Homo-oligomer: A and B are copies of this chain.
Amino acid sequence: MASNYVDPSNDVKLSKKDLNILAWRSLLLQASFNYERMQAAGWLYGLIPGLRKIHRNKQDLSKSMKDHMEFFNTHPFLVTFIMGIIMAMEQNKEDRDAIRGIKVATMGPLGGIGDALFWLTLLPITAGIGASLAMDGNIAGPIIFLVLFNIVHFGLRFGLIRYGYYTGIKAIQQLKEGTKQISRAASILGLSVVGGLIATYVNFKTTAVIKTGEAKVKLQTDLLDKIMPALLPLTYTILMYYLLKKGKSPLTLIVITVLMGIIGKCFNVL
């Protein structure tokens, strides 16, 4: 179906065992967390057994692995849902742009939903129960907390990978429209989300205040925000984009960013 694979055969299927292995590996999603790619390398770590089974051609594997090293961040419990969908797409050798688009489009919303559901609701409830028992010196407190919490936790991890995978398989079968249309749709969706992520995730504000006699101009709220909200995040991302296009290495950009952060802090403008 797709053209950008050396080996376009799509007859490999992932077994339940395969999926379980991926779910186990998803536990290390944040092993190599960092502020440039966030969970990317951990995400790829999780996918590896599946990708190796699907892409027997080394060049295809390389392409796929490279794609999955791109920026990734989502909620660590819901990640297996995305893993399932993506594995279905990989296995069907969908257009790589489509795979990327779907990945990017799902990670953002699931991140927010997961945070609300698990970090801000499940955790306080179960830990609250545990702590109130523990407070009375009852050792059942921590145990009950761990049990309650992890039933949901592991239930989701192993349930969602299957759900994602079969949903993906089914969706692909229904969409017989060739790879071009799907990847166009995925790009539209994905880039809308990236536009939103830039404004939401890139945390770039200046604290600079220009004082002249009586006048006091807070650069961020009195000037920049009036021109455009999230102006600095947007500008900086575009700048990084151009530097990358001009061949600058991402490493250089990190060094620049770190220096800017430290110097900006020293001069009290960031």
Contact = CB atoms under 8 A, between A and B. Distances in A.
A142 to B, nearest CB: 13
Contacts of A120: 222-223, 226
Given A121-B217, A222-B121, A227 B128 contact: no
A213 B128 CA distance: 6
A129 interface: yes
A217 B116 CA distance: 12
Interface residues of A, number: 24
A256 interface: no
A48 to B, nearest CB: 32
A244 to B, nearest CB: 22
A215 B117 contact: no
Contacts of A125: 210, 212, 215, 217
A215 B122 CA distance: 11
A266 interface: no
A238 to B, nearest CB: 16
A131 B213 CA distance: 8
What is the copy number of this chain in the assembly?
3
Interface string A184-197: 00000000000000
Contact of A132 (B213, B217, B222, B223): B213
Interface in A169-226: 210, 212-215, 217, 222-223, 226
A219 B21 CA distance: 35
A124 interface: yes
A137 to B, nearest CB: 14
A135 interface: yes
Contact of A213 (B129, B210, B214, B226): B129
B129 A223 contact: no
A124 B222 CA distance: 11
B227 A129 contact: no
Interface of A: 113, 116-117, 120-121, 124-129, 131-132, 135, 210, 212-215, 217, 222-223, 226-227
10 contacts: A113-B227, A120-B226, A121-B217, A121-B222, A126-B212, A128-B212, A131-B213, A132-B212, A132-B214, A135-B213
